[in-house]
Amino acid sequence: MWGGRFGVAPDAIMQKINASIDVDKRLYAEDIAGSIAHARMLASRDILSARDAAAIVKGLEAVRCEIESGSFVFRTELEDIHMNVEARLAELIGEPAKRLHVARSRNDQVAVDFRLWVRGACDRADAALREFQRALIDRAEKHAATVMPGFTHLQPAQPVTFGHHLMAYVEMAGRDRARFADARKRLNECPLGAAALAGTSFPIDRSHTARALGFERPTANSLDSVSDRDFALEFLAAASIAAIHLSRLAEEFVIWTGPQFGFVRLSDAWSTGSSIMPQKRNPDAAELVRATTGRLFGSLIGLATVMKGLPLAYSKDMQEDKARTFAAADALMLAVAAMTGMIDDLTVDEARMKAAAGAGFITATDLADWLVRELGMPFREAHHVTGRIVRRAEEKGCDIAELPLADMRAIEPRIAKSVYAVLGVENSVASRTSFGGTAPANVRRACRAARAKYL
């Protein structure tokens, strides 16, 4: 490729460290699409004859068929996907293949290939997260009125419904999808034609190739075009945040499937056993999703570290971008699919959830609200009175709903028997009718709204 300048072949170790074909061969479809667009543009500007362009396009389509059929032989000595495709094209069509690389460099070639791939990865992530939302909404509709404890600090706080809890993750996934869509919109500019770093003296039409490849416009600065990897960093950032959300739900599955909670059960399809303990039923799928977050964080920080000290324009360090991005995209897709499968598979123990929702004085806030609403008591005073009632119930070993009225009146004489109506967990969740609250009617409306918005 650069034999005119060099008189000695690269050292074997140099060849090994320099080659990227094992990683970037995944870009074959994007590389061929970019080359076809480039050839057709060159022909439209009379830089390349129509006959040569037609031969190049036909040859590139043949190369694509060979790769997709598995008959293509990738050669390490050719370094990367670009030179592997170009070398095979030359074998197939001869002299016209040598004319393809006019007015471009591997720098803008890899930039357009990688942008195309990341754009597709954003679309794939969006589709997977949409299916994840579908599973959550389906399950939330079934459990819009299934009472469970809501937690703060992992301590019982207030009753909620399981459907409401799941819908929180629908909102998280919606923000994840918006981040991928935003990243996709920002990356959708075409660097092809920036050449090595300075543009080209040939009368090319960059808008032509941008349109042909589905980009909104060409990139505006040739230096930035070949040195920018913001689009990969944004993808990795969006993927990392999505992984955080998946990991939080996975952690809850790990907790909820244990006998101490017993809220849900995963079938054999999503559980594993132990090599020594016959009774074990491990939520390994959830644990592995939880662990996947580390890989995505590592990819993001790794690429950010590569990019942070690079002067303009292209540096070989940037060859590290693809392995990290490919690995992160693969990990995210697997994690989303696993969580979607687990949600579809869940068996919910509604009785166990309801029993847990009644423990830990979880309707204390309802009692405080009743004191404010019925007795006109300032909330801070109601909070104090309720705290004393909770302490009395704790001393007597019962829940506040089971505490005799006389004990409550010993603390606040104006408390009436009607207070017991707000102390049941079903009444508690039904009362939370403010927008975004956990009342079953709210949850059902939220499910309908989410279907319309996201699905």
**Contact between residue 304 and residue 321 where contact means Cβ atoms under 8 Å apart:** no
Q: Among all chains, which residue has been given the structure tokens 């104090």?
A: 384
Cα→Cα distances 414→3, 27, 371, 405, 408, Å: 96, 75, 9, 11, 9
The H-assigned helical ranges of 213-315 are 222-227, 230-257, 284-307
Helix (H) / strand (E) containing 122: helix 106-142
d(CA 19, CA 77): 7
Residue 310 has a CB neighbour count (10 Å cut-off) of 14
Residue 144 has a CB neighbour count (10 Å cut-off) of 23
Which positions ≥6 away from 280 have C-beta within 8 Å?
273, 274
**Contact between residue 443 and residue 451 where contact means Cβ atoms under 8 Å apart:** no
Gap between the terminal Cα atoms of the chain: 50
216 SS3 class: coil
d(CA 68, CA 158): 56
**CA gyration radius, the chain:** 30
201 is catalytic: no
274 is catalytic: yes
Find the catalytic residue in 49, 267, 274, 315.
274
d(CA 246, CA 267): 19
Tally the residues of the chain: 455
Find the catalytic residue in 71, 153, 201, 418.
153
Catalytic residues, by residue number, are 153, 274
